[in-house]
Amino acid sequence: MVKLNKAFSLFDAYNRRDPTVFKIDGHVEPSTYFYTVKLYDWVKKLDPEASEALLLASRSQHIGRWEVPRSTYPEGRVGYLQWRSDLSKFHAQKAADILNIVGYDEDTIDRVQMIILKRKLKIDAEVQTMEDALCLVFLEFQYDELIAKHADEKIIHILRKTWNKMTDRGRKAALTLDFSEKGLFLLGKALDNSSH
């Protein structure tokens, strides 16, 4: 537990440097720090027996996100996918650097990186738990902001894609969230026309 807590404190200190902020209930938190702690919380809820590697991965999944801005890549889907791919590798490397400092062995570091990079999604239970948790953080904290920016049809499409990424356990958790009236309406539309 000593190493785990040391790694968490280093991850959190790094993420608190994010210049962008998230405002909630009158509080202001650095965005990356806020989302990472919420991701960790969801992983713990979904899997109370989560392995050390999964807990470490959840706390470093977004590490240093602000250092690789979307704006530095071309517009459009190809640019977006390249950014996402490069960002995952960046997170995995940053996490490994810190875990090395803390003194973790190579096997644990490799496992953490594999989860961060979402290798063997749908096959590896821990990678899928991470995916569920990522979707739940999106639905709980980013969904309403997205609704304000995009047409209903696009939101419904995003919701269907999100739903299809999740396990039944993740979907059940999603249905317990306190959605806005518009959010609930769009989710209903998305699920009415999906195969789930």
Residue 150 and residue 58 share a domain: no
Q: State the CB neighbour count (10 A cutoff) for residue 194.
A: 13
Residue 103 and residue 17 share a domain: yes
* Tens-place pLDDT, residues 61-80: 999 999 999 999 999 989 99
Q: With a cut of 70, list the residues of the chain below it in pLDDT.
A: 193-196
Tell me, what DSSP letter sits at residue 141?
A: I
Residue 78 and residue 23 share a domain: yes
Residue 111 and residue 61 share a domain: yes
Altogether, the residues listed in the chain come to a count of 196
Domain boundary among 117, 152, 184: 117
Q: Which residue is associated with the tokens 């990356």?
A: 32
Residue 104 and residue 11 share a domain: yes
Predicted local confidence at residue 174, as pLDDT: 94
Predicted local confidence at residue 27, as pLDDT: 87
Residue 168 and residue 190 share a domain: yes
Predicted local confidence at residue 125, as pLDDT: 93
Report the SS3 class of residue 20: coil
Predicted local confidence at residue 116, as pLDDT: 95
Predicted local confidence at residue 53, as pLDDT: 96
Residue 154 and residue 65 share a domain: no
Q: Which two tokens stand for residue 166?
A: 């999740």
Q: Which amino acid is at 153?
A: E
Domain boundary among 117, 136, 161: 117
Global confidence as pTM:
0.90
- Give the torsion through C-alpha atoms of 155, 157, 162, 173, to 10 deg: 60
Residue 154 and residue 70 share a domain: no
Residue 110 and residue 42 share a domain: yes
CB 53 within 8 A of CB 59: no
Predicted local confidence at residue 193, as pLDDT: 56
Residue 89 and residue 11 share a domain: yes
Residue 163 and residue 104 share a domain: no
Compute the distance between CA of residue 39 and CA of residue 135 in angstroms, rounded to an integer: 9
Our count of domains for the chain comes to 2
CA 112 vs. chain centroid, Å, equals 14
Domain boundary among 61, 91, 117: 117
Q: Which domain holds residue 151?
A: 125-196
